[in-house]
Amino acid sequence: MGAGLGGILKNTHTAYTTSKARMEVVKIVINLELSITVEVSLDELVV
């Protein structure tokens, strides 16, 4: 019983950590895309 619960908690924690890490990656990608878009827009404005 205890081991089963511990396993569930461990799996839940791993899934939570993974989804949290995935969110960080998504944020970084979105920030990169936004900054690239802004730079391109600025370049077009300057020209």
pLDDT tens for each residue of 1-47: 455 777 777 887 788 888 888 999 999 999 999 888 888 888 887 76
Total domains in the chain come to 1
Task: Look up the pTM and report it.
Answer: 0.54
Q: What burial letters (b/e) apply to 12-36, b meaning 16+ CB within 10 Å?
A: eeeeeeeeeeeeeeeeeeeeeeeee
State the residue range of the domain holding 17: 1-47
Q: How far is CA 46 from CA 5, 38, 40, 42, in A?
A: 61, 12, 10, 6
pLDDT at 1: 47
End-to-end CA distance of the chain: 69
- pLDDT of 27: 94
